[in-house]
């Protein structure tokens, strides 16, 4: 399609010869090219004059042969640039599959390598964008369709506005609210707009309040919740809003994947210069192969294991936000080994290097 918009004039086909690829500098290549052309022209002139061809025929012949020789070598030197131009035109039309053959080690070769890396990143970003649109569309369609049906039945008088009916509508609205909050937090991640107000939080009080705020989710599963803090009086050096956001995301995951009548446990303890918080469930667990990938944006788990909303019915945003918020505290989040279920482990430094006197934007999901 690009060729039809930008037709090129016909030109003689020259082979793509790259004998200078071994050199690591474009300046060296140009110097060699000039020296070789001058030497070739001098040689042809000398041969012509010795064979009595005369200057009128020897000089034009030397110039023409030297130009053809220079064009041949220059074509190989500039071939990656032409390939990059063609690939860029393809990218402008949405095709990110074209790559540049980078065989030289000079500046042009380095540019070609960087171009290929950029093309890979653009292709990955384009795939992520497509997946985001598909995932978010699916997530929005389900609660919106449920709300539409519920309200339509209420308007038509098919059902009465009982507390149970209103609770169903409220549940779908809360699901929409969580999704929108995730997307807003994701935009803050991209913009880098997040400050922290670090202070010492009483671990037991904070964890119990956070657990109480989500314990009514999936109440039909009849789950039990436990908070274990050791030693007593332990404090969490964190921003209250961000830490609540982290724990709510992890607790929602634990609730979603816990079987009927199971227990969800939140443990806090001290480590060497750190405070460690574990959120444990009795669900199917997380495969070792997925333990790093689940923290990537829009990653979706396979099978029945759907951490962070990354399986069916999730966008794959929750755990990415968790990792971002933990990183802001200078800590780490990982999937710890456990004999049963999944254990999500947060490690926070006792003195965070990212402390700020101003609270960041609130996005309390609890």
Block residue for tokens 């071994």: 22
| pLDDT per residue as tens, the chain (366 positions) | 444 444 444 344 555 666 776 777 777 778 877 888 888 888 888 888 777 777 777 888 888 888 888 888 777 777 788 888 888 888 888 888 888 887 777 788 788 888 888 988 888 888 777 776 776 776 677 678 878 888 888 888 888 888 887 887 887 787 788 778 767 776 766 666 566 788 899 999 999 999 988 877 666 788 899 999 999 899 999 988 889 888 988 998 888 888 888 999 999 999 888 999 999 998 888 888 877 777 775 555 443 333 333 333 445 577 877 888 888 888 999 998 888 889 999 999 986 444 444 444 333 333
Domain shared by 343 and 272, yes or no: yes
Q: How far apart are CA 70 and CA 76, in angstroms?
A: 10
Q: How far apart are CA 188 and CA 52, in angstroms?
A: 80
Any idea what the CATH number is for the domain that residue 184 is in? 1.10.287.130
Domain shared by 210 and 187, yes or no: no
In a domain, 85, yes or no: yes
Block residue for tokens 């945003």: 317
Q: Measuring CA to CA, which residue among 183, 242, 251, 201 is closest to residue 364? A: 242
Sign of CA dihedral 31, 34, 37, 39: negative
In a domain, 178, yes or no: yes
The 3-class SS string of 278-303 reads EEECCCCCCCHHHCCHHHCCCCCCCC
- Which pLDDT does position 358 carry in this prediction? 42
Domain shared by 213 and 286, yes or no: yes
In a domain, 364, yes or no: no
In a domain, 355, yes or no: no
Q: Which domain holds residue 173?
A: 133-191
Domain shared by 139 and 216, yes or no: no
Tokens of 90: 């393809």
Domain shared by 18 and 103, yes or no: yes
In a domain, 218, yes or no: yes
Which of 120, 142, 160 marks a domain boundary? 120
Domain shared by 151 and 234, yes or no: no
Which of 153, 170, 191 marks a domain boundary? 191
Block residue for tokens 């964890």: 207
In a domain, 102, yes or no: yes
Domain shared by 343 and 211, yes or no: yes
Domain shared by 11 and 112, yes or no: yes
Q: Measuring CA to CA, which residue among 201, 200, 225 is closest to residue 211? A: 225
Sign of CA dihedral 199, 201, 207, 213: negative
- The DSSP-derived string for 259-271 is PTT-EEEEEEEEE
In a domain, 128, yes or no: no
How many domains are there within the chain?
A: 3
Contact between 136 and 179 (Cβ < 8 Å): yes
Domain shared by 26 and 143, yes or no: no
- Which pLDDT does position 201 carry in this prediction? 93
| Distance (Å) of CA 238 to CA 2, 183, 250, 253, 307 | 54, 23, 16, 21, 24
Domain shared by 98 and 187, yes or no: no
In a domain, 231, yes or no: yes
Any idea what the CATH number is for the domain that residue 316 is in? 3.30.565.10
- Which pLDDT does position 22 carry in this prediction? 72
Domain shared by 109 and 137, yes or no: no
Domain shared by 34 and 12, yes or no: yes
């Amino acid at each position: 399609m690009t060729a039809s918009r930008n037709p090129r004039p016909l030109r003689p086909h020259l082979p793509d010869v790259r004998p200078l690829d071994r050199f690591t500098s474009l300046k060296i290549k140009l110097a060699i090219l000039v020296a070789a052309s001058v030497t070739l022209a001098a040689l042809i002139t000398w041969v012509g004059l010795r064979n009595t061809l005369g200057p009128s025929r020897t000089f034009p012949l030397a110039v023409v042969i030297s130009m053809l020789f220079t064009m041949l070598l220059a074509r190989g030197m500039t071939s990656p640039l032409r390939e990059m131009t063609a690939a860029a035109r393809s990218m402008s039309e949405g095709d990110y599959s074209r790559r540049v053959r980078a065989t030289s080690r000079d500046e042009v070769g380095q540019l070609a390598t960087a171009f290929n890396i950029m093309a890979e990143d653009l292709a990955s970003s384009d795939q992520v964008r497509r997946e985001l649109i598909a995932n978010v569309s699916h997530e929005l369609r389900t609660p919106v369709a449920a709300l539409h049906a519920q309200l339509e039945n209420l308007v038509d008088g098919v059902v009465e506005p009982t507390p149970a009916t209103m609770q169903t509508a409220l549940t779908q609205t809360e699901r929409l609210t969580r999704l929108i909050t995730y997307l807003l937090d994701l935009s803050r991640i991209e913009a880098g707009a997040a400050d922290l107000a670090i202070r010492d939080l009483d671990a037991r009080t904070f964890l119990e309040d956070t657990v109480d705020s989500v314990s009514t989710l999936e109440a039909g599963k009849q789950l039990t919740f436990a908070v274990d803090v050791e030693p007593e009086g332990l404090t969490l050096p964190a921003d209250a809003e961000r830490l609540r956001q982290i724990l709510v995301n992890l607790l929602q995951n634990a609730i979603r994947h816990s079987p009927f009548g199971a227990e969800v446990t939140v443990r806090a303890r001290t480590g060497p210069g750190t405070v460690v918080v574990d959120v444990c469930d009795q669900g199917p667990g997380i495969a070792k192969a997925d333990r790093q990938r689940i923290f990537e944006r829009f990653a979706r788990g396979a099978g029945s294991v759907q951490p962070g909303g990354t399986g069916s019915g999730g966008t794959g945003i929750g755990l990415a936000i968790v990792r971002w918020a933990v990183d802001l505290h200078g800590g780490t989040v990982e999937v710890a080994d456990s004999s049963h279920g999944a254990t999500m482990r947060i490690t926070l430094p006792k003195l965070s290097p990212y402390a700020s006197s101003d609270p960041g934007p609130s996005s309390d999901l609890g």
